[in-house]
Amino acid sequence: MKKLLLLPLSFLVLLTAIAQHKPAYVLYNAKGKKVKYSKMIQALTKQDVVLIGEFHNNAISHWMELEITKDCKAQRNLVLGAEMFEQDNQPALDLYLQGKLSAKGLDSMARLWKNYPTDYAPLVNFAKENNIAFAATNVPRKYAATVSKGGFEALDTVPATAKTWIAPLPIAYDAELPGYKNMMTMMAGHGNANMPKAQALKDATMAHFILQYFVPGNLFIHYNGSYHSDNHDGIVWHLLHSKPGLKIATVTTVSQKDITKLLAENKSKADYIICVDEDMTNTY
């Protein structure tokens, strides 16, 4: 009887060993050294602002966002915010968080991303359940499109009401920032000089509303596409431009064929790097 009991147990141990040798992701620090999740949480909870850069369709990115948020909440009071909500949708989001609007009502009143039900609703619902403020930080997309076509000067014609949904003008802009320069390189003749300005408008507006909703003593966690905070650029630059000395940590997601060693090109992208197997299933 003892031998029969030992067989399933040994089989379970074998399965566990196999699983441990085929992880879906590995967590690294900026130098490319593997780091424990608990150590990362310990460091993140000492910050003023944490920017989590995601791949919008990556399941591990979204799972980690929720887990990081839950574990930080266990140690700090939080404020949350996200690129995925544009500032003019803040009233609808607030009504939902207050229980005055249904999920269907939120979907009708706000411009939700197509992957909201699977990828962002868990974060919003966590905020609702725990009475956590959630900021809609992004600029309404039509104004980013306006800048992409006509530059920052095109914002001069925006109505006064709409300007409350945008970072204060004039928008701080440094065309030499690596992220903005790289955009032009990636476009390879298909873009124009205003495209990085549209990106800067988004970065500046997200930074502005992070600071508007920031509560001293609380930890602000912000969810955004990785490009908006990689290399401590984008949102980070705008945050520090407005509030020097702010303690900021960044997390990003990268994808590799072999996740056992972080590629040199992915080092220093963030303080903590979630390296995901490139075969990971996407959410859309």
Domain of residue 70, CATH code: 3.40.50.11550
Question: How far is Cα 249 from Cα 47, in angstroms, rounded to an integer?
Answer: 7
Which amino acid is located at 198 in the chain? A
What pLDDT shows up at residue 21? 72
Establish if 284 belongs to a structural domain: no
Whether 17 is in a domain gets the answer no
Decide if 75 is inside a domain: yes
What sign does the dihedral 56-57-58-62 (CA atoms) show?
positive
Q: Which two tokens stand for residue 29?
A: 């620090």
pLDDT-flagged residues of the chain (< 50): 1-7, 11-18
DSSP code of 28? E
Residue 37 lies in a domain: yes
Per residue in 65-95, pLDDT tens? Answer: 999 999 999 999 999 999 999 999 999 999 9
Q: Are 45 and 219 in contact (CB under 8 A)?
A: yes
User: Which pLDDT belongs to residue 13?
Assistant: 45
Note whether 209 and 87 are within 8 A (CB).
yes
Is 10 within a domain? no
Query: Is there a domain that residue 214 lies in?
Result: yes
Range of the domain at 227: 24-277
Model's pTM, two decimal places?
Answer: 0.91
For residue 71, what are the CA distances in angstroms to 40, 44, 64, 244? 11, 10, 10, 27
Element (H, E) at 201: helix 195-213
pLDDT tens for each residue of 194-236: 999 999 999 999 999 999 999 999 999 999 999 999 999 999 9
Q: How many domains does the chain have?
A: 1
Residue 186 has a pLDDT of 80
Determine the pLDDT at residue 1.
45
d(CA 42, CA 54): 20
Residue 128, domain member (yes or no): yes
Answer yes or no: is 9 within a domain.
no
Residue 283 is predicted with a pLDDT of 87
pLDDT of residue 97: 98
